[in-house]
């Protein structure tokens, strides 16, 4: 009988029922990922802003392997704005699309230098005016560098929000709005981390590991992925699969292994 209830959330549910189920999913994910955190290495708002811009079309791991040399050479917005584009391109080459990213980083750094005294602003309205900065990047910076609650809708968050039945939209701003209506603002930043962690480690795009998923009973999409527990376990990534994480310098409570630096075997 227990199995018949798994993944059987109603196709139509009241808003109250949806809120209850969504918040229970969040509580369950908090148990599974008590160490959830931003997976970009950073020491200050400027580093996080630049790293988040660089993370487009690549992994956080590759960004984390690239930024130590970048920030060692250009530690401030003024330093980076004055950088030789060719030198920047050489450093950023491992992240892919390095020419476009070089232009973005130069423009962003110049805007910080000229309009904000070299400091990263702590308001959404200011951040989204910066070159190459949209709502996703702004919410990452606000939530993790300034403690301002925000929902970060990346590809993982959008995919899981639809699988969980929190939204039907493909538009990031609509997803953000729909999910925000289900949770108190104080939950938004950590919710984002937990959902992204789950998407990267277990609820993959092509073949989610349904057979070992701890929130299967709450998920209307249960059964889309691998159902056999033994086979599903082999799909787990990062610390859940016994592999290194994405950060070279993870938080102290992270249970996995740090990622290797660039060029390490």
180-232 tens-digit pLDDT: 999 999 999 999 999 999 999 999 999 999 999 999 999 999 999 999 999 99
Structure confidence by residue, pLDDT tens digits, 21-63: 999 999 999 999 999 999 999 999 999 999 999 999 999 999 9
* DSSP helix, strand, coil percent of the chain (3-state; round to 5): 55, 0, 45
For the CA atoms of 206, 208, 209, 215, what is the dihedral angle to 10 degrees?
180
Catalytic residue among 18, 60, 101, 136: 136
For this structure, is 237 an active site residue?
no
150: helix, strand or coil: coil
Spatial distance between the Cα atoms of 77 and 168, rounded to a whole number of angstroms: 39
Structure confidence by residue, pLDDT tens digits, 232-264: 999 999 999 999 999 999 999 999 999 999 887
Instruction: Provide the 8-state DSSP code for 249.
Output: S
Catalytic residue among 154, 178, 187, 240: 154
Structure confidence by residue, pLDDT tens digits, 120-162: 999 999 999 999 999 999 999 999 999 999 999 999 999 999 9
For this structure, is 231 an active site residue?
no
Q: Is the pLDDT of residue 167 over 50?
A: yes
């Amino acid at each position: 009988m227990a199995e018949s209830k798994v993944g059987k959330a109603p196709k139509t549910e009241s808003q109250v029922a949806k809120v209850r189920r969504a918040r229970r999913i969040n509580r369950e994910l908090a148990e599974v990922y008590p160490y959830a955190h931003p997976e970009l290495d950073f020491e200050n708002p400027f580093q996080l802003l630049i790293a988040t811009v660089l993370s487009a079309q690549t992994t956080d791991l590759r960004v984390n392997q690239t930024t130590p040399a970048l920030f060692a050479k250009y530690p401030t917005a003024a330093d980076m704005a004055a950088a030789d584009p060719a030198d920047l391109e050489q450093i950023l080459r491992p992240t892919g699309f390095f020419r476009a990213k070089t232009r973005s980083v130069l423009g962003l750094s110049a805007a910080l230098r000229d309009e904000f005294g070299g400091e990263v602003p702590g308001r959404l309205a200011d951040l989204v005016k910066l070159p190459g900065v949209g709502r996703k990047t702004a919410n990452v910076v606000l939530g993790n560098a300034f403690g301002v609650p925000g929902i970060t809708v990346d590809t993982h968050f959008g995919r899981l929000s639809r699988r969980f039945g929190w939204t039907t939209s493909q538009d990031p701003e609509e997803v953000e709005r729909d999910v925000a209506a289900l949770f108190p603002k104080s939950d938004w930043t950590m919710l984002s981390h937990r959902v992204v962690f789950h998407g990267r480690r277990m609820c993959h795009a092509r073949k989610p590991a349904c057979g070992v998923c701890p929130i299967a009973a709450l998920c209307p999409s249960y059964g889309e992925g691998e159902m056999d527990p033994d086979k599903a376990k082999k799909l787990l990534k990062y610390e859940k699969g016994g592999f290194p994480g994405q950060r070279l310098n993870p938080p102290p409570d992270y249970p996995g292994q740090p990622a290797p630096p660039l060029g390490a075997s």
